[in-house]
């Protein structure tokens, strides 16, 4: 059974939007893109939910990925994982284009899509790996906000979103995932597989309309 979305539960919840950036969602400049119909769905769903969530006075947190760039060498400094490096120039599964590291500091592709641009009073956490907790201040932020529940949406379901759910679970946070606010650049099979893992072991899958209705109550 999924948790009862009571005001008491939501009063200690934060909306965590993972990598809602132009690289994944903006088909005018992105590279590691989810399908256009998925991008449109995610943006519309997340915008509607964010409005309801913020109107209820609850915290909104954006997680963004970017890497440091050394202009003297032309190299990315902190994207040095051996598997990531081995993948460069190889086709991305399900995407049929070579992996390239474009998400460097200051690059437009690292920006949150304009439709979801953070507003005053909303929070942003920058990460350098799949995990939003690893070497970031997210855990401290959640502690200071008195948050024990994360309502999560974002991209990609099978890596950054899945890792977020694992890491939140391991910190005894309640995990609620919005399946209609997620997608994978690797395709629907990867997205579905991740949802299956999350529902089996990590948290609850709750449609965004249910969260919006609970905010209204």
Q: Tell whether the model's pLDDT for residue 8 goes beyond 80.
A: yes
Angle at 164 between CA 161 and CA 168, to 5 degrees: 145
| Tens-place pLDDT, residues 157-215 | 999 999 999 999 999 999 999 999 999 999 999 999 999 999 999 999 999 999 999 99
Q: Is 0.75 surpassed by the pTM of this model? A: yes
Mean pLDDT of 97-113: 79
Distance separating alpha carbons of residues 185 and 191, to the nearest angstrom: 9
Q: What is the pLDDT of residue 67?
A: 80
**Alpha-carbon 102 to chain mean position:** 18
The owner of tokens 């799949």 is 130
The long-range contacts involving 1-6, CB below 8 angstroms and separated by at least 24 positions, are: 2/176, 2/204, 2/205, 2/206, 3/174, 3/176, 3/204, 5/206, 5/210, 5/211, 5/214, 6/214
Which of the four pLDDT bands, split at 50, 70 and 90, describes residue 80?
A: confident
**Alpha-carbon 8 to chain mean position:** 25
The owner of tokens 């460097």 is 104
Structure tokens, 76: 């990315």
Query: Residue 122: left if φ>0, alpha if ψ -120 to 50, beta else—which one?
Result: beta
Q: Tell whether the model's pLDDT for residue 97 goes beyond 90.
A: no
Structure tokens, 162: 């899945």
Structure tokens, 109: 């592709």
Which of the four pLDDT bands, split at 50, 70 and 90, describes residue 102?
A: low
Mean pLDDT of 130-158: 98
Q: Tell whether the model's pLDDT for residue 103 goes beyond 80.
A: no
Q: What is the mean pLDDT of the chain?
A: 93
């Amino acid at each position: 059974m999924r948790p009862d979305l009571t005001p008491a539960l939501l009063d200690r919840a934060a909306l965590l939007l993972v990598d809602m950036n132009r690289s994944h969602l903006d088909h005018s400049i992105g590279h590691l893109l989810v399908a256009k119909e998925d991008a449109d769905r995610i943006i519309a769903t997340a915008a509607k939910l964010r409005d309801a969530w913020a109107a209820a006075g609850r915290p909104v947190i954006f997680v963004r990925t970017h890497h440091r760039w050394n202009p003297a060498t032309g190299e990315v400094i902190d994207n040095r994982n051996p598997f990531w490096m081995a993948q460069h120039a190889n086709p991305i599964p399900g995407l049929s284009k070579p992996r390239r590291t474009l998400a460097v500091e200051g690059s437009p592709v690292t920006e949150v899509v304009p439709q979801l641009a953070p507003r005053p009073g909303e929070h942003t956490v920058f990460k350098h790996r799949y995990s939003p907790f690893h070497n970031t201040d997210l855990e401290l932020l959640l502690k200071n906000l008195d948050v024990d529940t994360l309502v999560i949406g974002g991209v990609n379901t099978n890596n950054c979103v899945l890792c977020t759910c694992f890491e939140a679970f391991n910190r005894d946070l309640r995990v609620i995932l919005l399946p209609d606010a997620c997608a994978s650049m690797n395709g629907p099979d990867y997205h579905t597989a991740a949802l299956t893992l999350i529902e089996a072991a990590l948290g609850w899958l709750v449609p965004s309309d249910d969260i919006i209705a609970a905010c209204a109550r």
